[in-house]
Amino acid sequence: MKRTTRNALCNLLLLAAGAALLLWVDRTFDRYVVQVLNLIAINTILALSLNLIYGFTGMFSLGHAGFMAVGAYVSSLLILPQAQKQTIYILKPLIWPLSVLQAPFFVAVLLGGLAAALFAILISVPVLRLGGDYLGIATLGFAEIIRVVANNIVPITNGALGLKGIPSYANLWWTYGWCALAVIFIARLVQSNTGNVLKAIRDDEVAAKAMGIDVFKYKVISFTVGGFFAGIGGALLASLLTTIDPKMFTFMLTFNVLMIVVAGGLGSITGSVLSGAVITVLLEWLRFVENPVTIGGFTIPGVPGMRMVVFSLALLCIILFRREGIMGMREWSWDMLFRGRTRGGEAR
């Protein structure tokens, strides 16, 4: 069998197995487990989108919470029932076209992503002229601006009260469906020559220019695709949690995504998928350190926020001892699995 056919077959089998697993999980486990599984999918989407921007194109962006906020607000406003809109907008009524607009969940999420992509294009024109740490600061500023604006344009975002009672359409099928889409699209993109071009910009911008690459154009493309999937992630998250407010989209949200990307390996798709699952589970599991613990007659009182201390320490350890993350820039592939048998066989 040809290598490419075999890999395609394996991918299909993996997708089918994933779908079967979802069906089983959906029927057997309680809501808490399902919620964590949903979060894994969403965090994976977010991590992939940041990895495209930071890991593959080398643009240090800290604006993810901003894109997520845009996606979350746009899609929530489109799926909130009209009656619910009238109830929650207490201070000022929702302005006209938004108060009657409705869209199916898929369209709403898509539009959330597109709106975030539009924001990405708009800010990329001034901001992508900066490089390195300066870009990080500028994008961080952008995310903060989005949050402050959301806090203050009450007739659209309902200000600090936020949106409540968002229909919880987001189930395992939606989240994993979008997650699969994000993995497939971004993986295929970075494997194509366009992906090579992005990596070239990351490695050596001057040489990339000399080789005829319109560096600015490709930076905008990468930033926009990343922004799009961040918006999708935000939209799904809003429907999963059923309530959003500006306080949710602080730097901590970006930090969580950044942690997943760094832990998984900058420039590795499989690394991001892997660490998306591991870190989301750890974040939940580590809640026990915040509860009172009794060890041999001693009772240690629970400290809220303790798990973030543990996580920051973990991140420190990653940076000190394994800077390249779980996967580094490598990818896990079917070839690795089958290599044992075909050693010395076909050249890649």
Report the interface residues with another protein, using CB under 8 A.
Answer: 185, 188-189, 191-194, 196-197, 199-200, 202-204, 206-215, 218, 221, 267, 329, 347-348
Taking the complex as a whole, the smallest distance from the CB of residue 229 to another protein amounts, in Å, to 13
SS3 293: strand
Distance between CA atoms of residues 70 and 168, nearest Å:
18
Question: Which residue number, 26 or 204, has a Cβ lying nearer to another protein?
Answer: 204
Taking the complex as a whole, the smallest distance from the CB of residue 202 to another protein amounts, in Å, to 8
C-beta of residue 271 within 8 angstroms of C-beta of residue 47: no
Residue the block writes with tokens 């001693």: 298
C-beta of residue 290 within 8 angstroms of C-beta of residue 235: no
Question: Which residue number, 56 or 176, has a Cβ lying nearer to another protein?
Answer: 56
Question: Which residue number, 210 or 295, has a Cβ lying nearer to another protein?
Answer: 210
**Number of alpha carbons in the 13 Å side-chain half-sphere of residue 129:** 4
Taking the complex as a whole, the smallest distance from the CB of residue 198 to another protein amounts, in Å, to 9
Question: Which residue number, 50 or 208, has a Cβ lying nearer to another protein?
Answer: 208
Distance between CA atoms of residues 247 and 57, nearest Å:
30
Burial label, 315 (beta-carbon count in 10 A; 0-12, 13-18, 19+): middle
Question: Which residue number, 212 or 340, has a Cβ lying nearer to another protein?
Answer: 212
DSSP string covering 220-273, please? HHHHHHHHHHHHHHHHHHHHHHS-B-GGGGSHHHHHHHHHHHHHH-TT-HHHHH
285: its two tokens: 């599991």
Taking the complex as a whole, the smallest distance from the CB of residue 158 to another protein amounts, in Å, to 36
Taking the complex as a whole, the smallest distance from the CB of residue 333 to another protein amounts, in Å, to 13
Estimate the crossing angle of helix 215-241 against helix 193-203, to 10 degrees: 100
Taking the complex as a whole, the smallest distance from the CB of residue 317 to another protein amounts, in Å, to 24
Question: Which residue number, 188 or 247, has a Cβ lying nearer to another protein?
Answer: 188
